[in-house]
Chains A and B, each alone.
Chain A
């Protein structure tokens, strides 16, 4: 056994800058220190110490745990005493492997970092750190890269920063979407949560001149504790509700961190990923390494075949679905599509074979993306004959349901709630059984209202009826301005999403009557649980809230995603919406009068039809369209109950697994596939078997969440029209009209819902949880949507102009800008 030259050297020692002696990470930290950057004090155990304890170690075979040399034990005690100024001070032990943090290989997350290390546990942490070189992810990573770097590891023992805020700053956006921008991610507590991908961080994109070009404040529900006295305790702790939606950094701090990161990148002449932390007002740089490509576990797999994004899902949320959601859904969907990188795509070749037109690739992609009508394309009669046969078979298989749903009483859908409750209390049903039972277990001799998904699928025919009505009016009333038709076709008061809005409005009205309550809510100082606890159960607001939650508590933002917490579990979204109504005056509320506009539009239509039979025919079509529009919205209210029930089953399973020690953190279950979770529950596998898988999938999910989903794979879609004027954006009309107002960009209503009456809502997408923001908006602009999307349907209800498929609107438009919208003609202009 060779004696190392020194058992430990301070980071300030020049030897530390030699990566062949102290590994890539320590060398990088030492250089940062030399450059005068604020690096926490640390000592490095050079690679020679590793070689001393693990001589002739085989990179492919994990060795026995070594005993520490007495000299090293003494050195470690001395280091702990020096770095820990007080009894509360803790240490962090980091790997610094040879080749780590190099330009070709970052080894990010492959070797271990140990937080909360005390003087007593330091020796163990050092040995664990060495042995992490043989962990499965590290071995897989090394073999995948086929790196020729020598094998060995130095260890950094550093003072642990009690970070109140921490994160990562990339000198250039690593997703490649905005290469010229720096991307800063930040959250509360320790940065380990960010590295693990367990927390959705706030994100800031910063231009080269230090301006924040875009910010996305996320809901930060969890943080890594700054202090951990009980090592067996949960590392993650909940963030106080009030803090969850607050930005974790001020604009000045964002500028400072981005500036430091750019300086480091310029000195290294390569793009850097800088880990930072703030303790009090003091900023620390924890490490800097070149941005490298994702590991094997996180890489996207290549895609074969021709696929087009399934628009109805993308219209509700653009983030990928978690592996658990994908795995459960793929077991109940007909094999007509494919989940690619967490999003659902339809098979373009299959669609082409089902259509009666011979379409070009571009026209086909446009049709599936609901952007174009194929009506101008020539019919292929051979296909028409083939399709007639398919239609006949389809009619025999589904015709009965199709006809039944035409007269389904809307109130009969409520029976589904009882079916969901029965499934929830049935312990024999696991999450997959529950999903199958609630979605697929229809019986022909039971009322069809008990199967809202069937009703929902059938209700899509309103789109065909709208086409028929349009063609009919073109013939019998050519002078009628069909722009107003959308208003006439709105669903009316029976729509549950409208009743949801009324429920929120009622909560706001009750809160407004109690001055103390309304000022508390408006001051952003309350969470709903605290408010109701203070008020007591007999206060009208508490009772109204309970009634609202009993009816709408199963709803959520991104409600198709099983990981998304429901309003009942996490009522901050409801609080934001109530607050949004509270901030508007009663006068503003009264200005919203869609009913009067609807009657006027109906009257205008009748006057355009001279004959009684024409009016009767048109009225019949309108009545049918209104019925199906309402049916579509209301069935969604009910079938999302199924999603809420499946989520509850999964959460119960997760609790059992956490109690058994087979899962460590809340929401980890959503990064497993269902059979993997079942195997864990059955004891066939353990935490060690799934830890790496969860980690890799979580990181991939985080990265994919940052990327805009490709609309197609291996088939070319129409490139959205680019306007010569940067201030002009174009989109498709979902609800006609003209408006002018101040832009309010809202990315997530559970984080922020500050929308004043007369503002223009600019959103990436919408789902029913966004509905309460609609009344009072002057117009709605949505990045992804279609005529059939939720945004369009509800905007028509309220008679609000709505533009959908406005590419890049949430990036190009900034809150506070004045916008002029002509939804009828499909454009929006940024006036100032």
Chain B
């Protein structure tokens, strides 16, 4: 039960943290990057707290959750873009 719970929590937390990482490259100046790093460290702290609160036997499920989330996140976003970009399913039109 706890393993399932941490697995589920780790998934959105991974998305949130990955966004935090990428926010660093989105910035255009040093102060923006500093703030983005600060925000990222807060998200990593959440991960650390989750790990601390999880019994040692279930900690591996955090990793599974994170990996599943990363896999699904990239796969789904690339798949969604492929559907649109490929032009195989164009929006129909009625003249």
Binding site for B on A (CB under 8 A): 300-301, 303, 323, 326-327, 329-341, 393, 395-404, 407-409, 411-412, 436, 440-442, 444-449, 697, 700
Q: Could you say which residues of chain A place their CB within 8 Å of the CB of B84?
A: 332-334, 440
- Among B22, B23, B27, B94, which residue has its beta carbon within 8 angstroms of that of A340? B94
Q: Which of A335, A400, A404, A412 contacts B89 (CB 8 A)?
A: A335
Segment at the A interface, from B13-21, B44-52, B55-63? B13-21
B4 CB–A CB distance under 8 Å: no
Closest CB in chain A relative to B19 CB, distance in Å: 3
Q: Out of B15, B20, B81, name the residue touching A396 (CB < 8 Å).
A: B15
A to B CB contacts below 8 Å, 28 in the list: A300-B95, A323-B95, A327-B93, A330-B90, A332-B84, A333-B84, A334-B84, A334-B91, A336-B91, A337-B91, A338-B91, A338-B94, A339-B92, A340-B93, A396-B15, A400-B22, A400-B73, A401-B77, A403-B15, A404-B19, A404-B26, A408-B26, A409-B32, A440-B81, A441-B85, A442-B81, A449-B26, A700-B95
Instruction: Tell me whether B93 and A445 are in contact (CB under 8 A).
Output: no
**Contact present for B91 and A335 (CB under 8 Å):** yes
Docked CA distance A329–B12 (Å): 33
Q: Which residue of B lies closest to A407 (CB)?
A: B23
Q: Is B10 an interface residue (CB 8 A)?
A: no
A399 pairs with B93, CB closer than 8 A: no
Q: Which B residues lie within 8 Å of A339 (CB)?
A: 91-94
Contact in complex: B26, A409 (CB < 8 Å): yes
Instruction: Provide the residues of chain B in CB contact with A408, threshold 8 Å.
Output: 26
Closest to A326 in B: B93
Query: Least Cβ distance of A540 to chain B in Å?
Result: 31
Chain B contacts to A: CB under 8 angstroms: 11-12, 15-16, 18-20, 22-23, 25-29, 32, 35-36, 39, 69, 72-74, 76-77, 79-81, 83-85, 87, 89-95
Contacts known (A396-B73, A400-B77); A331 close to B90, Cβ less than 8 A:
yes
A residues less than 8 Å from B79 (CB atoms) = 397
Q: Which chain A residue has the least Cβ–Cβ distance from B71?
A: A396
A341–B19 alpha-carbon span in the complex (Å)? 41
Q: How far is the CA of A338 from the CA of B22 in the complex (A)?
A: 35
Shortest distance in angstroms between A215's beta carbon and chain B's nearest beta carbon? Answer: 30
A297: nearest chain-B partner, CB-CB: B95
Q: Is the CB of B85 within 8 A of A393?
A: no
Q: Which of B19, B69, B72 contacts A403 (CB 8 A)?
A: B19
Min CB–CB distance A678 → chain B (angstroms): 13
Chain A residue nearest to B85 (CB atoms) is A440
- A436 and B39 CA atoms in complex are apart in Å by 33
Please name all residues of chain B whose beta carbon is closer than 8 Å to the beta carbon of A327 when the two chains form the complex: 93
Q: Which residue of A lies closest to B82 (CB)?
A: A440
The CA of A397 and the CA of B77, in the complex, are separated in Å by 5
Residues of A within 8 A of B19 (CB): 399-404
Q: How far is the CB of B25 from chain A (nearest CB, A)?
A: 6
Q: Which residues of A contact B20 (CB under 8 A)?
A: 403
Pick the contact of A399 from B12, B28, B35, B87 — CB < 8 Å?
B12
B76 touching A331, Cβ below 8 Å: no
Once the chains bind, are B90 and A335 in contact (CB under 8 Å)? Answer: yes
Contacts of B89 in A (CB 8 A): 335
Asked if B73 contacts A447 (CB within 8 A), the reply is no
Rank and list the top 5 A-B pairs by shortest CB-CB distance, nearest first: A403-B19, A397-B76, A339-B93, A330-B91, A399-B15
Contact A331 B87 (CB under 8 A): yes
Chain B contacts for A697, CB-based, 8 A: 95
Tell me the bound Cα distance from A440 to B81 in angstroms: 7
Residues of A within 8 A of B35 (CB): 407
| Bound: A401/B22 CA distance, A | 9
Contact between A341 and B22, CB atoms less than 8 A apart? no
Option from A341, A402, A445, A446 in Cβ contact (under 8 Å) with B94: A341
Q: A333-B84, A440-B84 are in contact. Are A400 and B92 (CB under 8 A)?
A: no
Residues of A within 8 A of B28 (CB): 409, 411-412, 447, 449
A residues near B29, Cβ cutoff 8 Å: 409
Of all chain A residues, which has the CB nearest B80? A397
Instruction: Name the residue of chain A whose CB is nearest to the CB of B19.
Output: A403
Q: Are A338 and B93 in contact (CB under 8 A)?
A: yes
Nearest-neighbor residue (CB-CB) of A335 within chain B: B89
Q: Is the CB of B26 within 8 A of A407?
A: yes
Q: Tell which of B39, B74, B93 has the most Cβ of chain A within 10 Å.
A: B93
Q: Which residues on the B side are within 8 Å of A341 (C-beta)?
A: 94-95
Contacts of A300 in B (CB 8 A): 94-95
**Shortest distance from the beta carbon of A586 to any chain B beta carbon, whole Å:** 37
Q: Which residues of A contact B32 (CB under 8 A)?
A: 409
User: Which B residue's beta carbon lies closest to that of A332?
Assistant: B84
Contact flag A436-B93 (CB < 8 Å), given A396-B72, A400-B73: no
Is A448's CB under 8 angstroms from B22's CB? yes
* Residues of chain A within 8 A of B74, CB atoms compared: 444
A445 to B26, CA, bound (A): 9
* Contact assessment for B18 and A400 in the assembled complex, using a CB-CB cutoff below 8 Å: yes
Task: Compute how far the CA of A402 lies from the CA of B16 in the bound complex, rounded to whole angstroms.
Answer: 9
For B83, the closest partner residue in chain A by CB is A334
Q: Give the contacting residue for B69; candidates A330, A396, A447; CB below 8 A.
A: A396
User: Do A404 and B93 touch across chains, with their CB atoms under 8 A apart?
Assistant: no
Cα distance, A335 to B77, chains bound together (Å): 16
Bound form: Cα–Cα A129–B77 in Å? 59
Q: Find B26's partner among A303, A331, A333, A412 (CB 8 Å cutoff).
A: A412
Least Cβ distance of B65 to chain A in Å? Answer: 12
> Considering the chains assembled together, what is the distance between the CA atoms of A323 and B95 in angstroms?
8
CA distance A803 to B36 in the complex (A): 40
B28 CB, nearest partner CB in chain A, Å: 5
Query: Which of A399, A444, A445, A697 has the largest count of B CB atoms less than 10 A from its CB?
Result: A399
Q: How long is the Cα–Cα vector from A238 to B28 in the complex, in angstroms?
A: 46
Complex Cα–Cα for A795 and B10 (A): 43
Contacts of A442 in B (CB 8 A): 81
Q: With A335-B89, A335-B91, A403-B15 as known contacts, state yes or no: A396 contacts B76, CB within 8 Å.
A: yes
In the assembled complex, the Cα of A224 lies from the Cα of B25 at a distance in Å of: 56
A393, B11: Cα distance in complex, Å: 11
Chain B nearest CB from A322 CB (Å) reads 12
B29: shortest Cβ distance to chain A, in Å?
Answer: 8
Minimal Cβ-Cβ distance residue in A for B18: A400
Note all chain A residues with C-beta closer than 8 A to B39.
Answer: 407
State the CA gap A49–B90 with chains docked (Å): 53
Contacts of A409 in B (CB 8 A): 26-29, 32
Chain A residues near B25 (CB, 8 Å)? 445-447
Known: A333-B84, A335-B89. 18 other contacts (CB 8 A): A330-B90, A330-B93, A334-B91, A335-B83, A338-B91, A339-B94, A397-B77, A397-B79, A397-B80, A401-B19, A407-B26, A407-B27, A407-B39, A408-B26, A412-B28, A445-B25, A446-B25, A697-B95
Given A330-B92, A333-B84, A396-B72, A448 contacting B26 (CB threshold 8 A): yes
Contacts of B22 in A (CB 8 A): 400, 404, 444-445, 448
Residue of A nearest to B11 (CB): A396
Q: Give, as a whole number of angstroms, the nearest-CB distance from A603 to chain B.
A: 29
Contact A393 to B73, CB < 8 A, known contacts A339-B91, A400-B22, A411-B28: no
Question: Considering only CB atoms, which chain B residue lies closest to A333 in the complex?
Answer: B91
Residues of chain A within 8 A (CB-CB) of B93 are 326-327, 330, 338-340
CA of A400 to CA of B72, assembled, Å? 12
Q: Are B26 and A447 in contact (CB under 8 A)?
A: yes
Q: Is the CB of B15 within 8 A of A400?
A: yes
